[in-house]
Amino acid sequence: MPVKKIGIIGGRGFVGAELIEILNDHPNLELEFASSSSNAGNAIPGTDLTFIDVQPEDIKQFPQLDGLILALPNGQAAKWVQAVDQAGLDLCILDISADFRFDAGWVYGLPEINRQLLHGARRISNPGCYATAAQLALFPIRDMLAGPANIFGVSGFSGAGATPNPKNDPEHLKDNLIPYSLIDHIHEREISHQLGQPVHFSPHVASFFRGISLTIHLNFSAPINSEALRNKFEEFYQDHPLISVSETIPEVKQVVHSPTARIGGFHVDETGRHGVIIVVLDNLLKGAASQAIQNLELALGTGQSKRN
Ligand SMILES: NC(=O)c1ccc[n+]([C@@H]2O[C@H](COP(=O)([O-])OP(=O)(O)OC[C@H]3O[C@@H](n4cnc5c(N)ncnc54)[C@H](OP(=O)(O)O)[C@@H]3O)[C@@H](O)[C@H]2O)c1
């Protein structure tokens, strides 16, 4: 199978670094370049390449690309898409920011839920980390819910990116837990939009580096017990090796540096109408970089790796 060539815009970020590491070890996808304006000229770890400063108008110099990953802050993607279109390049653009997650012209890349849409896709928007975790926990039971799910989320501070800000400031985070965007967080809108029903989401950032944990309270329209609830998930994910389902409560430590998500801790009260589930994943991997690679593998038809 021919190796597909991938460019990364935003290669010095936390997600960019994970993408580079995955591509260095990938049998069918090869890093062609990674851009960073602040790190231009510096070696890219694990490769013979150096970071280069690429601007949108330069993209026409890379007609050999099969895929372009945009790992930039929100609001930056459109100019790259426009430049690719203007250059007439036939490649798959995968955007890791939120810029196209509500755009019906783009495929929303959550492979355990909509894998068939990803085959041959040319424009993919990668879900947010909390949005990935919440949807993995809610899709299998969305027809059983009465009212909005209530999602309490805690993220390691890498979720706030490498560019300094109060949510990744070690001094501010020390011995602390910071609630933020408690109404109308972009992931609340994203989850509700994809799921087709409202959810309530309260994000927090903590002093550990990577990983997220979501505790989700649910109300059911008909009574169910814990075992039946767990069975629903086991059945739903039986053909998806990256999603594991456990009776016990999953913890962040079990998924960091791993492309997997764990769903567990299925508790339902005596009425059978109120339950809780927990989901954990690595925000930089299943919540960003490894999911991006899953999506590109499906879009470019490179065959499935251990990450799919
Ligand atoms: N961190 C996570 O857990 C996570 C999870 C899911 C999705 N995402 C999304 O993935 C994207 C990248 O996240 P990240 O955490 O890797 O961010 P980051 O660590 O802050 O990296 C941002 C990258 O974008 C480049 N950049 C270009 N224009 C920029 C600008 N105007 N301001 C700041 N940086 C700019 C930076 O490099 P140069 O400045 O050197 O060019 C850097 O390579 C974001 O859209 C984020 O929302 C992040």
What is the rounded radius of gyration, in angstroms, for the C-alpha atoms of the chain?
19
Tell me: the pLDDT tens digits for 51-60?
A: 999 999 999 9
Q: Name which residue sits closest to atom 14 of ligand 1, judged by CA.
A: 161
Check if 4-126+288-300 and 129-281 are the same fold.
no
Q: Which of 15, 44, 167, 169 to mutate to test the pocket of ligand 1 (most atoms within 8 A of CB)?
A: 15
Give pLDDT, residue 307.
Answer: 60
Domain spanning 129-281, CATH class: alpha beta
Q: What is the 3-state secondary structure (H, E, C) of 234-267?
A: HHHCCCCCCEEEECCCCCHHHCCCCCCEEEEEEE
Task: Output the average pLDDT for the chain.
Answer: 96
Tell me which long-range contacts 38-45 makes (C-beta under 8 A, separation of at least 24). Answer: 38/12, 39/11, 39/12, 44/11, 44/20, 45/17, 45/20, 45/21
What's the CA-to-centroid distance between 11 and ligand 1, angstroms?
8
What DSSP letter does each residue of 112-164 carry, written as one string?
HHHHHHHTT-SEEEPPPHHHHHHHHHHGGGGGGB-S-EEEEEEE-GGGG-SS-
- DSSP letter at 48 equals S
Tell me the domain boundaries of the chain.
Answer: 4-126+288-300, 129-281
Q: Specify whether 92 is catalytic.
A: no
Pocket lining: 285 vs ligand 1, CB cutoff 6 Å:
no
Q: Is the CB of 158 under 6 A from ligand 1?
A: yes
Is the predicted pLDDT of residue 1 greater than 90, yes or no? no
Q: Assess contact for 188 and 199: CB atoms under 8 A.
A: yes
In terms of CATH architecture, what is 4-126+288-300?
Answer: 3-Layer(aba) Sandwich (3.40)
Q: How far is the CA of 239 from the centre of ligand 1 (A)?
A: 33
Q: Tell the burial category of 104 from Cβ atoms under 10 Å away from its Cβ (0-12, 13-18, 19+).
A: exposed
**198-to-80, 138, 174, 190, 266 alpha-carbon distances in Å:** 32, 11, 34, 10, 21
- pLDDT tens by residue, 86-95: 999 999 999 9
pLDDT tier, 184 (very low <50, low <70, confident <90, very high otherwise): confident
Q: What spacing in Å lies between the alpha carbon of 154 and ligand 1's midpoint? A: 20
Question: Average pLDDT for residues 2-19, to the nearest whole number?
Answer: 96
- Packed helices 111-118 and 129-138: angle between N→C axes, nearest 10 degrees: 100
Distance CA(62)–CA(74), nearest Å, equals 24
78-127 pLDDT tens trace? 999 999 999 999 999 999 999 999 999 999 999 999 999 999 999 999 99
CA 62 from chain center: how many Å?
26
pLDDT grade, residue 304 (50/70/90)? low
